[in-house]
Structure 1
Amino acid sequence: MDSVRVRLMREDDLPSAERASAVTFFEADRGTRRVSEPEVEPRSSVASKQWIDRMRFCLGVDPAGCWVAVKTDEGADRTVGFAISQNRGGLWFLATYGVLPSHQGQGIGKRLMDAALAHADGRPGIFSSSVHPGATRRYRLAGFSLHPQMRMVGVVDRSTLPAVDGLREGRADDFEWMDGLDQDLRVAGHGPDHGYMLDTLRLVVSRDRARPGYVYIDDRGRASLLAAAERETAQRLLWEALASAQGNTLVNCITTPNEWAVDVGLAAHLDIGQEGYIAVRDMPVPAPYLASGHFL
């Protein structure tokens, strides 16, 4: 462990950190895969580029929350662990965190988490967690409540799609009220994250400002982040995302307070399963809300 240094991330660490992330999560997913589930695939080159782009954005917005654990090999630092966290107003979130399997059990994860939590400076916090026993132990010891998540997968039965009205395409001038909704649901707005997501995802919003809501939808028609003031609006937004789905789709980060999403998924004939936890500290689980994996 003495040969491993924990320090602030630099932009030139991103490729090495991405490789460490790809290996760490591939091994974790393979270790927790159920027999009935498909084989885990390595991260694609497109997904690797997307990871680097997202983490470069985080590094640019709040660099003091981005940490790496490195070993120096032949004069170059090699990433063996990473913790990328961000402060947005009064909220802290952990975008991603992990330690290479070959370096787990050596206290590196604790050092990284301690650095990221010091950056939180007492703020309420939220993140999406895997089921890795070492990681979940660390989160609980840090004072986080772990709320089991569900996911729904499958091909949408298009005969079940309802006519959805009251929605429109979102724009940058929606960000102000979206941040107000975020603050009501999860302590603080997403701030600059909305601009990043609008550049890479489709945004759909509720026309009715008395019942606001929004959903970001990726290029495969999957809901990437959804927030609403009440469940009926949330369900209409999720139906809009499912109507855009191409082939197999995924609705994830579903917590018990968000069973409205389960009702939609079951109506669309998706299959329900379990996946990890939403971890929160000093705040309730947001609802109606489906968290983003990286922007929470």
Structure 2
Amino acid sequence: MILRQVRDSKDDAEAVRLTTDAAFAASAAAKGDPPVEGDENQAILLRSVVRHLARTDPGGCWLAMDDSGQPTGAALSTRREGTWGLSLLVVTPEAQGKGLGKALLARTLAYGRGCLRGLVCGSRHPHAARAYRAAGLTLHPAMRLRGTVDHAGLEPPTGAVVEGGPGLRDLMDSVDRRLRGGAHGPDHTELLRHYRCLVSDDLAGSGYAYLRDGRVELLAATSRRIAARLLTAALLSLAPGAAARIGRLTADQEWAVDVGLAAGLELTTAGYVCVRGMRPPAPYIPSGLFL
């Protein structure tokens, strides 16, 4: 077994994607969930994010290969101004139970040594919860909203919401620092390549949201009023009958639960938001990949 850093290359990006698909399919089967269907748009996104993180955080991105050169595990982690995040930790089914996940996690934890804060979006797989708790993270149970949006249940936002872009990155970084102790920095450039961005900024506060294909990927705001405004605008931007999904909501995000329930979405439990040296940021919906 070989552990090496992920390179900024097509081959390594594809190796991480294949490993991720295999691990997620096995996890879905173990939990009794429907089979994971391949999505080329998601594959393109993951390849791009892998290469992005291989450039910005080469010391935090690791790939495991077996003796024949086949990928068996991968881990991606970031450091952003004193905040460490684990974006991905996957092991193929045939390599599980052999300590590989623990070894990969150890490499990412070493990369985050010296960071005062840590953030992980953990699945509900029992092995993940056990590993993150053993690493000293506090696990906060999370919820998920999904379903078809009922526009009639939502009041139009009372404040301005505009399209975001590179020119607003300083504002978004400022919101990040206030909520999670570290700006996303270069991640905003990558996010803007793949997601629609909404921004609100007035005397009541500032905030932004990223969304794609009905999924709210990341939302951060300096007040619950701004956060609810952004989430409402994001849901109302969807076509009638479109599906929506909002995940990784801790109990601190009741404002999001209220908006989602008003929109007719179904609320269920799903995984954990794991933190170290901090409370779950709020009002905040973390990104699984960008945290």
Name the TM-score class by shorter chain.
over 0.9
For 1:202, the equivalent position in structure 2 comes to 196
Moved over 4 A (4+): none
Give the percent of matched residue pairs that are identical in Structure 1 and Structure 2.
38
Worse overlay, 277-286 or 221-230: 221-230
Query: SS state of the match for residue 183, structure 2?
Result: coil
For 1:154, the equivalent position in structure 2 comes to 147
Structure 1 residues 119-150: Cα deviation after superposition (integer angstroms, max 9, x where no partner)? 00131210111111122111111100111110
Q: Does the 8 Å CA contact 2:214/2:243 hold for their aligned counterparts?
A: no
Q: Does the 8 Å CA contact 2:80/2:185 hold for their aligned counterparts?
A: yes
Cα distance in 1 between the residues matched to 2:29 and 2:150: 29
- The answer to whether 1:98 aligns with 2:90 is yes
Matches of residues 1-296 of structure 1 in structure 2 within 5 Å?
4-10=1-7, 11=9, 12-33=11-32, 39-73=34-68, 77-123=69-115, 124-164=117-157, 165-208=159-202, 210-218=204-212, 220-246=213-239, 247-296=242-291
Please give the root-mean-square deviation of Cα atoms over the aligned residues, in Å. Answer: 1.4
Q: Does the 8 Å CA contact 2:156/2:232 hold for their aligned counterparts?
A: no
Structure 1 residues 15-42: Cα deviation after superposition (integer angstroms, max 9, x where no partner)? 12211110101211232246xxxx2333
Count of equivalent residues = 285
Query: SS state of the match for residue 7, structure 1?
Result: strand
Cα distance in 1 between the residues matched to 2:111 and 2:203: 35
Cα distance in 2 between the residues matched to 1:113 and 1:221: 31
TM-score (norm 1): 0.92
In the superposition, relative to structure 1, how do residues 86 and 209 fare at CA in structure 2: closer, same or farther (>3 Å)? farther
TM-score (norm 2): 0.94
Q: Which amino acid aligns with 2:53?
A: C
Cα distance in 2 between the residues matched to 1:111 and 1:79: 15
Query: SS state of the match for residue 145, structure 2?
Result: strand
Cα distance in 2 between the residues matched to 1:138 and 1:223: 27
In the superposition, relative to structure 1, how do residues 209 and 169 fare at CA in structure 2: closer, same or farther (>3 Å)? farther
Structure 1 residues 64-97: Cα deviation after superposition (integer angstroms, max 9, x where no partner)? 1100111131xxx211011111111111111111
Cα offset, 1:209, TM superposition: 5.2
Cα offset, 1:161, TM superposition: 2.5
Q: Which amino acid aligns with 1:150?
A: M
Q: Which amino acid aligns with 2:123?
A: S
Structure 1 residues 140-173: Cα deviation after superposition (integer angstroms, max 9, x where no partner)? 1110011111001110112112121321111222
Cα distance in 2 between the residues matched to 1:132 and 1:109: 13
Q: Which amino acid aligns with 2:250?
A: T
Query: Unpaired runs of 5+ in structure 2?
Result: none
Cα offset, 1:210, TM superposition: 4.6
Cα distance in 2 between the residues matched to 1:151 and 1:100: 26
Q: Does the 8 Å CA contact 1:221/1:243 hold for their aligned counterparts?
A: no
Cα distance in 2 between the residues matched to 1:143 and 1:149: 18
Q: Does the 8 Å CA contact 2:57/2:79 hold for their aligned counterparts?
A: yes
Cα distance in 2 between the residues matched to 1:242 and 1:33: 29
Cα offset, 1:272, TM superposition: 0.4
